[in-house]
Structure 1
Amino acid sequence: MLVKLNKIQISCIRRIALITAFFLSIGTTAMSAHAHTPHDMVYAFAASPNYASDKTMFLVTDGAYTGWRYNEILRSTDGGLNWVDIPNGMNHPYEYSVLRVSPKFNTDQTVFAGLKGKGGIYRSTSRGDFWESYNTGLAASNLIVRKMEVAESSTGYVLFFTDANGALFRRSSTDANWIQVLDKTNKVTVIAISPDYATDNTLVIASDSGYLQKSTNNGNDWTELGNPTGTIIYDMAIAPGGAAEIFLATPSFGIFYSSDGGSTFINKGNNLPNEAINNIAVSPNYATDRTVFCTSLKQSVFKSTDKGDNWVLFDSGAQVTKQTALLNEMTDLQVSRTYATDKTIFLPVFDGLFFSSNGGTTWKQRQTRRGLMTGLAASSNFNSDQKMIATTYVGRGIAISADGGSTWSTSGWPNPKGHKLNFFDSDIVQNPNGTQTVISARNGFVGNSTDFGDSWSVKFVPRFTAINPDLVTFTTLAASPNFTNDKEIYLGSRFHGVLHTKDFGKTWRLQRGVPLNHPVTSIAVSPDYANDRTAFAANRAGQIWRTQDGGDTFLRVGASSIISIGWGGQRYTWVAVSPQFATDNLVIAGTNNGIYRSTDGGTTWTKETHASVGSNAVVQQVEFSPNFGTDRNIFINVRGKGLFRANLNGGGAVTASQNITLSLLENENIQFTEFQISPTYAVDSTILGAARKNIYKSTNGGLTWAVAGFPDN
């Protein structure tokens, strides 16, 4: 071995590196949130192997900025100028860890998505237009995907992934099942596949302590390469040309290089910073251009044109946001497989998607989240006035339509500097004299309008520095139906639980019964609030909280009977209260494990088992028909499946349902971010749906749909 360190040095270095990596990966709980706008963080990325001609790429980012935020997979076919959500079939409650595209994407149209939760792998053979589970042969303990790589084979593709336990699995395009090729004792954390895999069948894996193994026969047999760096390994890359040249990215010593297939390694890295190197990628044209790229924890992108001997920094513009652990900032680096033609490098990081089309010399950022709709509300007189409000993220903020969504204007919310604004929700209250009050909120501010958004009375919401020094960031809101008289508003937040005002924002109180460590995803106020003083709040921990004394106390309900699945912070929950609550006491909860109902005001709960919606449906939103007393309908937005209209019997149980947006989902990849039922539904049968930047409208109860308009144009 050309790198010579004695055993004591290696042991000490390894301990330091492991401790450092641990703290880099978890961050610190005291880390403050420094805003970057828009919040277009990229969690996973993959580009078409034919990028030079098809300009196709896929990425995972947060859902639209509403109270629920399931990750979304987006696709662009124009180099990132425009993006579409591709949710069809993704009926699971988990986050994504990795995306990969088949090397033969041009003909097989295949994309893979690996999940952090126990969802395993999903596959699409239609460019992402439809997804299905791809887990045959895997046990439940193998369904958390840590790393995944794909290679070209003589018959199609070969896919390798390592699970959370460190076992390694393989499946080819002709296999019916996954095959375990290394068990969990190998503790695999990094996978590198030879670009010439179709001929050399070579891959290298690294363990969580930095030990390498190599296979030259498709993972059937392995050769120990030891720990050449004396530390752990963050990333690996194999250069084209028979898998002789291997690059290792490490937290302590920069880059290691082997020219003999891993038998020996030398340390390289002239001009690299004295910090961890966490990503490394090799040009597909390496045989002639000798080009390698890498990133460090805080800087990107470094380029070498002499096999890694010397490096030059070309600033990508990607910033360290300080909103995540340092190791999660610069998360990925990929080189276009058509680099010889397009000279494209991709840098998908927590700060967004950056790319270079001239070999790394200059960089641009592609936006994925500007102008997204985050909320929707319809006039209580919608049938006659056709007015609606849409809130948007990094756009108009609040957009107003007076013609059913065909045209939109910017509201009169004070914005003297003309900045792009972020709003998260709105509510419209019918006043006793027939007028309406609109309530809306943005970070740190809440406002009300009595002329449907033309002018606003805006109040500052004070910081609660003992909890969080930053502005209060809101997720959802609900006003008292008797707002004209009581001035009460409940606001859900990311870090402050539920806030409550009884004087339209002059004073605020925290509802300390509701946990502060899980964002609030839904708030519902009883239509008979003036008498029963009842409101509900749901959060991302799968919990529902109820007040029956006008917010003086909140107590958890359904703790033993409402069963969500997955990680505690991913149990998005929605709650809706019957318009007939004063007499039927009916409450519906939508969870990531189906629908639950209560017929005693939320004290006890029963799971809905009717097969038409699905007993384990991942529910994103539930609303009652405003005409529920007559039509007995509720509407349920199910992740990856669409919007259902369900009929309830006298006991609140589902008797039948119909998927009323199946054609939108299958033909146009439309899954609503949020939907609203017209308050005058009994007369106009109108349903409104928000999908990224578009409003969809149905005037016949969901039988047919049309694009109504674009609020942020």
Structure 2
Amino acid sequence: MLVKLNKIQISCIRRIALITAFFLSIGTTAMSAHAHTPHDMVYAFAASPNYASDKTMFLVTDGAYTGWRYNEILRSTDGGLNWVDIPNGMNHPYEYSVLRVSPKFNTDQTVFAGLKGKGGIYRSTSRGDFWESYNTGLAASNLIVRKMEVAESSTGYVLFFTDANGALFRRSSTDANWIQVLDKTNKVTVIAISPDYATDNTLVIASDSGYLQISTNSGNDWTELGNPTGTIIYDMAIAPGGAAEIFLATPSFGIFYSSDGGSTFINKGNNLPNEALNNIAVSPNYATDRTVFCTSLKQSVFKSTNKGDNWVLFDSGAQVTKQTALLNEMTDLQVSRTYATDKTIFLPVFDGLFFSSNGGTTWKQRQTRRGLMTGLAASSNFNSDQKMIATTYVGRGIAISADGGSTWSTSGWPNPKGHKLNFFDSDIVQNPNGTQTVVSARNGFVGNSTDFGDSWSVKFVPRFTAINPDLVTFTTLAASPNFTNDKEIYLGSRFHGVLHTKDFGKTWRLQRGVPLNHPVTSIAVSPDYANDRTAFAANRAGQIWRTQDGGDTFLRVGASSIISIGWGGQRYTWVAVSPQFATDNLVIAGTNNGIYRSTDGGTTWTKETHASVGSNAVVQQVEFSPNFGTDRNIFINVRGKGLFRANLNGGGAVTASQNITLSLLENENIQFTEFQTSPTYAVDSTILGAARKNIYKSTNGGLTWAVAGFPDN
């Protein structure tokens, strides 16, 4: 068990702040001097209780694609030098609120993840290699996890959590169900568990108004301690030694300390700043070193070696990014359970992961997110030329491969100063004469190339100051199949909805029907666009929009029949159009609540219920086979489950499916962030999948996979 308790979080503020933060982190000029690019904010963290020997940590950060995808849990087993994604079984669309590791992790390998948005708790008994729901006994109204702490018991662990309503629940390693120990009238917001819980069975809780209660029998009975601070409480910690000494961190009056189990408290704060203190943590070796750590809203880390009587600031280097609410900046502070040996302190905050291995005297930052791949496309002649193009965020920018992804080179996009460029998507169009045009975009610019990226014609996309004064930041794009003649491109953005040009960037128009306050996650253009003038856009609010007049108007479709779940900003949606659209009018939508199909061009929608993929699958991407007219296959990337190849009947319904990346997920923790099928799939059966560190390639329709390289290697 780690000696740490997070501060109070106000979820509605935090959710807005987290999305805003990614948007602001796009430009390097907005980053602090200490922040990494891409920004590797930490939303939740836990370290192994055996950190001195196993160097194992878990954290939650933005996904390996871009910030408008789902968060991911990462694991490091070398002290944070390297990180792997551990998604297997995390088949939900929710954000994470907390991570905790079993005190007996060395033997039980157990990790817990608490979720927001009615996801409850997930548990792994394999160091995170596989996760499963751990919610037996909880009602739907109890599945928003605000706080969670784990204690060591004589038989294993005891887990406590408080839900969004303020009720407190308990479950031990031998229990089959969760048990409610306090109802919602207690408004629990902070939990502190005694380091000696295995013998004293003690925990303390604080309400949203600062009132304390203590239990010495595992939460079965409670004694009220009143409100000793006269204000709310951001954090609490119990020192080793029979739960006699308790520390409170408050927003107004510094640190409060009790030496008699909470009966009385005194104020301590010599040399602490005159601002809110939001984290406090106690050394596991407190009986001999009397050491306590804390942070304020703007400064970290303060250390006391005399039970909090005096404090010294040891600058961690963590900065206030101003990209989130101030209360969400210095979000966490934890002390290694093996502190007596390794002297390690963890500071997982919005600015990143900081740690000290000498008791807080000096600090280092670990990078958890590196160059991200944001787009992948294969040549329309892939079977013969093996050409691929990839876009990256903080890397090569646009990378080109001529050998199926084994080796990569930087494209010829103009970059006279040699900056690392951030690109967000590419599209390849087969021209009538057999040549190809590549279209790509970065913040404020769009370009096209007729020599597969060696040289580019680049256009500046003007600012729309009435909407946002900054450069237009793109998320996705799709060019007209007839681009060589009509020069049309649809681009999805973060703040500007859908943009459309009909003359390759000379003029632009905003599709004002599409909301501006939700990132566009997918755009698909009809293969018969020259005749039907149809295109679709999907966004993170779970909405699909359609134009049937070449972008003159966009109208929402499926508003009453496509039902996403969870918070409105987490309803990631994908849309794909059949290669046979001119005759079958088939459109597929992937949502965080399964697959929907339309057989009338998007006017009406039906939910897919076939059990093989899952009616409630969290779909990250769906694509038609380029050979759909013959093989009737679509490919569906499902969060926490893998990539499925599904067969559709004449009405567009799934008749069977196969998980073609199950072995990658189970054996290597590989979940694709994006995949593409070769345009010449009918001949080469090639599928390309991008993961955190590699591109994988299958040349037999997904039966087997091999590493093909990575653009930034």
Give the structure-2-normalised TM-score. 0.95
- In structure 2, the partner of 1:248 is 248
3-state SS of paired residue (1:423): strand
Deviations 1:258-285 (A, max 9, x none): 1111111111111211111111111111
Q: How far apart in 2 are the matches of 1:2 and 1:168?
A: 20
The change in CA–CA distance for 1:8 and 1:335 in structure 2 (over 3 A counts) is closer
Measured after TM superposition, the shift of residue 340 of structure 1 is: 1.2
Measured after TM superposition, the shift of residue 34 of structure 1 is: 14
Preserved contact between residue 5 and residue 235 of structure 2 (Cα < 8 Å): no
The change in CA–CA distance for 1:438 and 1:67 in structure 2 (over 3 A counts) is farther
3-state SS of paired residue (1:422): strand
Preserved contact between residue 591 and residue 618 of structure 1 (Cα < 8 Å): yes
Preserved contact between residue 585 and residue 600 of structure 1 (Cα < 8 Å): yes
3-state SS of paired residue (1:507): coil
Comparing 30-39 with 618-627, greater Cα deviation is found at: 30-39
Q: How far apart in 2 are the matches of 1:621 and 1:584?
A: 21
Preserved contact between residue 9 and residue 327 of structure 2 (Cα < 8 Å): no
3-state SS of paired residue (1:53): helix
- In structure 2, the partner of 1:338 is 338
Measured after TM superposition, the shift of residue 466 of structure 1 is: 1.9
Measured after TM superposition, the shift of residue 565 of structure 1 is: 0.8
Deviations 1:416-436 (A, max 9, x none): 333333222111111122111
Preserved contact between residue 28 and residue 325 of structure 1 (Cα < 8 Å): no
3-state SS of paired residue (2:451): coil
Preserved contact between residue 281 and residue 335 of structure 2 (Cα < 8 Å): yes
The change in CA–CA distance for 1:531 and 1:226 in structure 2 (over 3 A counts) is same
Q: How far apart in 2 are the matches of 1:613 and 1:634?
A: 12
Preserved contact between residue 572 and residue 620 of structure 2 (Cα < 8 Å): yes
Measured after TM superposition, the shift of residue 28 of structure 1 is: 22
The change in CA–CA distance for 1:65 and 1:116 in structure 2 (over 3 A counts) is same
The change in CA–CA distance for 1:23 and 1:204 in structure 2 (over 3 A counts) is farther
Preserved contact between residue 26 and residue 325 of structure 1 (Cα < 8 Å): no
Measured after TM superposition, the shift of residue 10 of structure 1 is: 22
Preserved contact between residue 98 and residue 147 of structure 2 (Cα < 8 Å): yes
- In structure 1, the partner of 2:280 is 280
What is the number of equivalent residue pairs in this alignment?
713
The change in CA–CA distance for 1:14 and 1:606 in structure 2 (over 3 A counts) is closer
Comparing 254-263 with 151-160, greater Cα deviation is found at: 254-263
Preserved contact between residue 66 and residue 375 of structure 1 (Cα < 8 Å): no
Comparing 293-302 with 114-123, greater Cα deviation is found at: 293-302
The change in CA–CA distance for 1:469 and 1:34 in structure 2 (over 3 A counts) is farther
- In structure 2, the partner of 1:361 is 361
Measured after TM superposition, the shift of residue 711 of structure 1 is: 1.5
Measured after TM superposition, the shift of residue 19 of structure 1 is: 23
Q: How far apart in 1 are the matches of 2:472 and 2:19?
A: 34
Unaligned runs of 5+ in 2: none
Comparing 489-498 with 147-156, greater Cα deviation is found at: 489-498
The change in CA–CA distance for 1:88 and 1:19 in structure 2 (over 3 A counts) is closer
3-state SS of paired residue (2:507): coil
Measured after TM superposition, the shift of residue 706 of structure 1 is: 0.7
Preserved contact between residue 117 and residue 566 of structure 2 (Cα < 8 Å): yes
Preserved contact between residue 586 and residue 599 of structure 1 (Cα < 8 Å): yes
Deviations 1:492-545 (A, max 9, x none): 111111111112122221111000111111110111111111110001111000
Preserved contact between residue 14 and residue 231 of structure 1 (Cα < 8 Å): no
Q: How far apart in 2 are the matches of 1:16 and 1:674?
A: 26
Measured after TM superposition, the shift of residue 415 of structure 1 is: 2.5
Comparing 2-11 with 492-501, greater Cα deviation is found at: 2-11
Unaligned runs of 5+ in 1: none
Deviations 1:541-594 (A, max 9, x none): 110000111111100000011011111111110000000111111000001111
The change in CA–CA distance for 1:96 and 1:478 in structure 2 (over 3 A counts) is same
3-state SS of paired residue (1:138): coil
The change in CA–CA distance for 1:62 and 1:13 in structure 2 (over 3 A counts) is closer
Q: How far apart in 2 are the matches of 1:607 and 1:708?
A: 36
Deviations 1:54-74 (A, max 9, x none): 111000111123485111111
Measured after TM superposition, the shift of residue 39 of structure 1 is: 1.9
Measured after TM superposition, the shift of residue 15 of structure 1 is: 24
3-state SS of paired residue (2:395): coil
Comparing 518-527 with 422-431, greater Cα deviation is found at: 422-431
Q: How far apart in 2 are the matches of 1:55 and 1:484?
A: 55
Preserved contact between residue 11 and residue 230 of structure 1 (Cα < 8 Å): no
Q: How far apart in 2 are the matches of 1:710 and 1:375?
A: 12
Measured after TM superposition, the shift of residue 476 of structure 1 is: 1.0
Preserved contact between residue 533 and residue 548 of structure 1 (Cα < 8 Å): yes
The change in CA–CA distance for 1:13 and 1:678 in structure 2 (over 3 A counts) is closer
Q: Percent identity at matched positions? A: 99
- In structure 2, the partner of 1:613 is 613
Comparing 7-16 with 427-436, greater Cα deviation is found at: 7-16
Preserved contact between residue 476 and residue 520 of structure 1 (Cα < 8 Å): yes
Give the structure-1-normalised TM-score. 0.95
- In structure 2, the partner of 1:82 is 82
The change in CA–CA distance for 1:18 and 1:311 in structure 2 (over 3 A counts) is farther
Preserved contact between residue 58 and residue 74 of structure 2 (Cα < 8 Å): yes
The change in CA–CA distance for 1:326 and 1:23 in structure 2 (over 3 A counts) is farther
The change in CA–CA distance for 1:514 and 1:150 in structure 2 (over 3 A counts) is same
The change in CA–CA distance for 1:27 and 1:497 in structure 2 (over 3 A counts) is closer
- In structure 1, the partner of 2:523 is 523
The change in CA–CA distance for 1:623 and 1:484 in structure 2 (over 3 A counts) is same
Preserved contact between residue 8 and residue 234 of structure 2 (Cα < 8 Å): no
3-state SS of paired residue (1:8): coil
Preserved contact between residue 66 and residue 425 of structure 1 (Cα < 8 Å): no
Preserved contact between residue 67 and residue 522 of structure 1 (Cα < 8 Å): no
Comparing 677-686 with 422-431, greater Cα deviation is found at: 422-431
Comparing 601-610 with 419-428, greater Cα deviation is found at: 419-428
Q: RMSD between aligned alpha carbons?
A: 5.0
